[in-house]
Structure formats: structure tokens, C-alpha cells
A and B are shown apart, each in its own frame.
Chain A
Amino acid sequence: MQFDQLLQYTLSGLSTGAIYALIGIGFSIIYNATGIINFAQGEFVMLGGMLTLFFLETLKLPLWAAIPCAVAASTAAGMLFERLAIRPLRRPTPINLVIITIGGSILIRGLAMLLWGKDTHSIPSFSGDDPIAVGGATILPQHLWIMGITLLIVAANKFYFYHTISGKAMRACSYNRRAAGLVGIDVRRMVLFSFIISSAMGSVAGIIVAPLTMTAYDVGVMLGLKGFCAAIIGGMSSGGATVVGGLLLGVLESLGAGLISSGYKDAIAFIVLLLILFVRPQGLFGKAQSERV
């Protein structure tokens, strides 16, 4: 095994993993604020890419303007989703909510298909396509963008959750909703916030990968699942653990495809998911929760 091959697998894995991490954090934020898994998370990733394309091609905006517009529009979609589908529910049991998010994801995907058709589209890279050599391996400038933006968002998240009032309130909701309500935190508003943050993050993920992976109405399904795996490995934490989970998943996939067989690439992701759920349901780094009676 040559060193530069190994390096290439690792680098490819890290850059794919960064995306999984970003999507995974979106899952955990909503999970922590509401206790539900938002299976529509992948669709916001798709919306990010497709809306950027829409602003670029149909409204002829330059790339730097199209991206914020796309993030704003997908965030609005996330808000609308929470308002119309999550909040009105009279008896919000987790199973009802999960099924609603699955329904929502099918609806969003269907609308996107009707609006923009079934074709795959490409978006221009942010800064060219000339490969950069790292040791014996190569990466694209877009990979640097992906890693950089992921880092930035994770740092911003950390700041928000630990150093702002509303971030702290959201954490309070995640520990104990009722107690948070009792001390005067508007839990429903926090739920709305969590949808806003995670749909914005999902769309950013969708935008920064689109130049590499291209985008279509149905890209959200697989990316969403992989992001979900990352969140599970990270024990549904909205910080570093999920990032590590995503990176780990990306590297495992890439090493698996390179060293064992490419046929098992997706299998590896799901075997890891199952193993974690069986052996360490609290996540790779989490402490087992003890129920106090």
C-alpha cells in the first residue's frame, strides 16, 4: 500500500465527512430542542443547492448574491415547515412528529421535482477547479471551502449555544422541556429557532457540496441518511462529537471503497450505524445516561 494512496483516501474521506458532519449537526440541533428526528433535514440540503441554481440561472444573480438568497429562502422554508406542519399538531408524540417530517420530506422533494424538473444540474465552483497537491494526493479548492465553512459553522454554533441567552435557553430545553418552560423559556419559540438554524445549516451544506457533487431534486435522501449516521455516531450532540462522527464516517467509507471493495461503501456506513445503535446508543463519546427515579 503506497502512502500517497492512503493519503488520498483520507483526504477524500475528510472532505466528504465534513458534509456529513454539517448535515448531522442539523439533525442534532432539532433533536435536542424538540426530541424528534427531522427526516426532512436532507431536503433542506437539496433546497440549498437547487435554490442557488434557481437564483443563478433563472434570476441571473451572481454567485455571491445567489448563495445568501438561497440560504434565506431555505431558512424561510424551514420556518414555514415548523409553523405549518410541526406546531399545529395537537398531540405531539415523537412518533407522530417523525412521521410528519417524513411526509414533509416527500412533499418538499415532490414540489422541487415539479418546479425544477428531474435533471441533474451543476453549479460553478467558488474558486476554480485546479487541483491542489497535498503530499502525493490532490484536493480541489472547493474541498478547502467545505472544510473551512464547516469549521466556521461549528465554531459559531459553539458560541451561540454557550455564550448567548437564546442559545443557553435552547440547551435548557434540551435538558428538560418542562423545567425550561417553568423558568419562563418560551419552548415553542425555541423549537422554531431550532428549525431555523438547522434548515439554514442544511442549505449551506447543500450549497458548498453542489459544485462537487452536482444537485438534483433527490440528492437530499442519501445525504440526509449519511448525516443522520454522523449524528448517531456523535450521540446527537450539536458540537464536536457529531463533527468527529461525520469525519469518521467519511474516512471509513473512503478507506472501505479503496482498500476493501467499492461495492461495500454504503454498507460500511450502515453497519457502523447499526453497531453504534446496538453497542453504544449514547454515541461514541457520550456517557451512558442514568435514569434518576
Chain B
Amino acid sequence: MRIRVISSLIVLGSLIVATAALAAAPIKIGALFAVTGPASFLGEPERNSAKMVVDEINAAGGVKGHKLELVVYDTSGDATKAVQLATRLIKDDKVLAIIGPSTTGESMAVIPVAEKDHIPLISCSAGIKITEPVKRWVFKTAQNDTLAVGRIYQQLQKQRVRRVSILTVSDGFGSSGREQLKAQAARFGITVVSDDTYGPKDTDMTAQLTRIRGIKPDAIICWGTNPGPAVIARNARQLGLKIPLYMSHGVSSRKFIELAGDAAEGIRIPSGKVLVAGLLPKSDPQKKSLMTFVKDYQRHYHAEGDHFAGHAWDAVMLLKGAIERGGNSAATIRDQLEKTRQFHGIGGTFTYSAHDHAGLGKDAFVLVEVKGRDWVIVK
């Protein structure tokens, strides 16, 4: 009798195991984000939106019956840690693809790992070096600085502006912007007449602006992330500067207006479309993705989903697309990623190819301006 009970239990148990194995195994995806540390303004929203979109995909039944399983590690913005965690994701967690890291420095450090172990990596950082030259296993979702600079210069050229002063922050983001601003100027018939910098923790930039006022440029371009540009906006107002002020996509959020207050009026920036999702015409191909993303993010986190959060959203959705089209191993997912065509995401419309693993065109950026304490699209 007892033996029968035990053996039937064994049979029952093995049945349960068998059915669990039959219901498709989950697909493991790794994620490396700088959730803490100096780049946490990137990593935190990225982690939030990656978790959000994976939960939603699973709630809707997964991808082709497979649930997604997201393994997130915090790199705290440290390249060495990012490499260790990437190895751990590949060797211990046996993930099929990795999303992140958040910063260009970490991405560059992790690339050799992904290349060696043949794991597709979708970086969420902007540096142009990540996908140029093209690396077989590496893709990215964040818009290149080149595109942002190009968008500003295109506008300046249209307004026949010739002389610009640049004021950039002395960190990775600022120096990359500074390089691009100087490199592309000539192509648009623009001369950079002065080149100033400020420290990421500086609290007063009137000295730099006074100098620029003396030079009398036609426009000022400031490249940095909060709070520096907000201080600059306030300083410019204090000095009564009448020169048009352009800033980077690094301040593309409502937070900037909140910090700069009235001084933000009239400032123009190139921005991902997510900032003005509600204002886009219905004909815009990204409108549907953008509205879904903004509403979901608001519902889950009671915060504004910014374009950083969008990078991770795009990465997960691109993977989903690749798996739907038949990717079921690291190699096939990579091949299918490369075949992505016209995916309307948050950062723009992605079309990857063997020669282009960044996938975005000029239409990824719109030029927006602060009017009445809100962002509006510059026509």
C-alpha cells in the first residue's frame, strides 16, 4: 500500500515536471544598467522600463509561448564591474542576449566579452564608437550625438547663422558633444568662434557667458546634462543675453524646465520624439509606440518616461521582434536582429543592416523649444 502511494507520487511528480518542460522554457535576457552611481539618471529609468515591458510581454502570454526572464545587474557606472557582470550573465545565468550597459565607457569595455562569447549585445548608450565600425554582435538603441548636433546645425543653417559659441560640460557627454560640434560645423558653413567648458558640479557660469557676450556670436550651443544647463539658462537671463540659446538632448525632460524656471523660455533643443509624444501628428509612424510607452510608464512609476527609459524599451522590443521572427539561440537572435526593418520605437524608426547596427536616421530627432513652461515642436 505504502509503496503504491509513493510510486504514484513519483509518477505524479514526474508528470508535473514533464508538463512544465513542455510549456516552452523561458528565454533568459540579461541586462546591465548603471542603476546607482553617477550615471543613475540613465540606468534607473532604463531598468524600470525594461522590467515594465518584460512584465507586459509575459502578461500577454510571452513571445511565441516563451516567457521572457530578465536578469538585471547594477554596474554602478563602473566599466570593470560591467565586464565582470557581463561574464556572469553569460557563464552563470546563460542568457541569450544582453541589454545595456548604460554608458559608452562601459559599453566599450563589454563589447569584447560579447564578441568573444557570441552573445548579442544591445547597448543603451549613445557613443558613436559602439557601432562604428560595425561589430558582428553589437547593436545599439540610443541616438548618436552626431544626429543631435546635425539637427541643431541644420536649423542654424536654415536661419543663416554663421558664428556660434559652444559651452560644454567637462565630462564624457560634454566632450563627445564638443568634438562633434567642432567636427561638423564646417559642413553647415558654421564657424565655432569660441569654445568654453564648465565642470559638472559648477554653480555659476556667468564668467563664461560674459566672455561669450563679448565675442557676440549669432547663437550659443550648450552641451550638458542637468543641472549645469539650467544654471546656464538662469545665468544667461541674469546677464540679459539676447543671443539664441541651443542645448543638447541631455536636458530633454520636463525636469529641465522645472529647474530653470522662467529662464528656460525660448531655449531650443534637439530631442527624441518621446518628449513631445502628445503633440506629434497622427501620421507620425512612432506615435503609437510613443503613446503606449508614455502611458505605461506613467501608470507603473508615476513619473515621466524619458528617452533614456525609451532606450531600454526599444532594446527589449527589438529582441522580442527577433525572437518572433524565429530567433531561438544567441546566433539566430543576432541574425534576426540584423534583419529588423522599420521598427517604430521610442528613439526613432530602427532599420538595422549588415553595415548599420545603430539603425536610426535624421528623423530620430525633432527640434523643440520651451514655450509657456512646456516643450513645443519648432516647425
Segment touching B, from A118-126, A180-188, A229-237, A285-293: A118-126
Whether the Cβ atoms of B255 and A9 lie closer than 8 Å is no
Q: Contact between A258 and B204 (Cβ–Cβ < 8 Å)?
A: no
Evaluate contact between B230 and A214: CB separation under 8 angstroms: yes
Question: Are B207 and A257 closer than 8 Å at their CB atoms?
Answer: yes
The listed residue (A12, A122, A218) touching B207 by CB distance below 8 A is: A12
B240 pairs with A16, CB closer than 8 A? no
Name the CB-closest residue of A to B213: A5
Q: How many residues of A contact B (CB 8 A)?
A: 38
A214 nearest CB neighbor, chain B only: B227
Could you say which of B93-101, B194-202, B266-274, B369-377 contacts chain A?
A: B194-202
Q: Let me know if A209 and B203 touch, CB within 8 A.
A: yes
Question: A214 contacts which chain B residues (CB < 8 A)?
Answer: 227, 230-231, 259
Residue interface bits A20-48, CB-to-B below 8 A is 1, else 0 = 00000000000000000000000000000
Q: Is the CB of A262 within 8 A of B261?
A: no
Distance of A173 Cα from B230 Cα, bound (Å): 45
CA distance A5 to B210 in the complex (A): 6
Residues of A within 8 A of B210 (CB): 5, 8-9, 12, 258
B259 x A12 contact (CB < 8 A): no
- In the complex, what residues of B have CB within 8 A of residue A213's CB? 203-204, 227, 231
Give B316 Cβ to nearest chain A Cβ, in Å: 24
Which residue of chain A has its CB nearest to the CB of B258?
Answer: A122
- A257-B227 Cα distance, complex, nearest whole Å: 19
Contacting pair A122 B239 (CB below 8 A):
no
Chain A residue at minimum C-beta to C-beta distance from B204: A16
Question: Which B residues, 24 to 44, have Cβ-Cβ distances below 8 Å to chain A?
Answer: 40-41, 44
Mostly helix, strand, loop or mixed at chain A's interface? helix
Are the C-beta atoms of B261 and A129 separated by less than 8 Å? yes
Residue of B198, B238, B255 touching A265 (CB-CB under 8 A):
B198
Bits for B192-222, please: 1 = Cβ < 8 Å to A, else 0.
0000111101111011101101100000000
**Interface size range of chain B in the complex:** 35 or more
Using Cβ atoms and an 8 Å threshold, which residues of chain A touch B226?
120
Task: Verify B196–A212 contact, CB threshold 8 A.
Answer: no
Docked Cα-Cα span, A9 to B40, in Å, equals 34
A190 within 8 A of B: no
- The answer to whether A262 and B238 touch (CB under 8 A), given A5-B214, A122-B258, A221-B201, is no
| Beta-carbon nearest neighbor of A8 in chain B | B210
In the complex, B335 has a CB within 8 A of chain A: no
Bound state CA distance, A272 and B202, in angstroms?
A: 18
A263 touches B197 (CB 8 A): yes
**Chain A min CB distance to B87 (Å):** 28
The answer to whether the Cβ of A2 comes within 8 Å of any Cβ in the partner chain is yes
Partner of A129, one of B199, B237, B258: B237
Beta-carbon nearest neighbor of A256 in chain B: B207
Chain B residue numbers with a CB within 8 Å of A140 are: 238
Chain A residues with CB under 8 Å of B44's CB are 118
User: B262 interface residue, CB < 8 Å from A?
Assistant: yes
Which residue of chain A lies nearest to B202 when distances are taken between CB atoms in the complex? A265
Bound: A16/B235 CA distance, A? 13
Q: State whether B170 touches A258 (Cβ < 8 A).
A: no
- Give min CB distance, A73 to chain B, whole Å: 23
Judge whether A262 and B207 touch: CB under 8 Å. yes
Contact for A8 among B170, B206, B258, CB less than 8 A: B206
Interface string of A154-176 (1 = CB under 8 A from B): 00000000000000000000000
Are A131 and B238 within 8 A (Cβ)? yes
Q: How far is the CA of A180 from the CA of B202 in the complex (A)?
A: 42
Please measure, in the bound complex, the distance between the C-alpha atom of A14 and the C-alpha atom of B87, giving whole angstroms: 52
Nearest CB of A to B210, in Å: 4
**B210, closest chain A residue (CB):** A8
Nearest A residue to B167, CB-CB: A262
Q: What separation, in Å, do the CA atoms of A121 and B40 have in the docked complex?
A: 16
Contact B238 A257 (CB under 8 A): no
**B206, A262: Cβ atoms under 8 Å?**
no
A118 CA to B227 CA, complexed, in Å: 12
The answer to whether B203 and A129 have CB atoms under 8 Å apart is: no
Given the complex, which residues of B lie within 8 Å of A194, measured CB to CB?
A: none
Chain B residue numbers with a CB within 8 Å of A12 are 204, 206-207, 210
CB distance from A214 to the nearest CB of B (A): 5
21 pairs of residues in contact across A and B, judged by CB atoms under 8 Å: A5-B210, A5-B214, A12-B204, A13-B207, A120-B226, A120-B227, A120-B255, A129-B238, A129-B263, A139-B238, A140-B238, A212-B231, A218-B201, A221-B201, A222-B203, A254-B207, A258-B211, A262-B167, A262-B198, A262-B211, A265-B207
Contacts A9-B207, A138-B239 aside, 7 further interface pairs with beta carbons under 8 A come to A16-B203, A120-B255, A222-B199, A222-B201, A255-B207, A257-B211, A258-B208
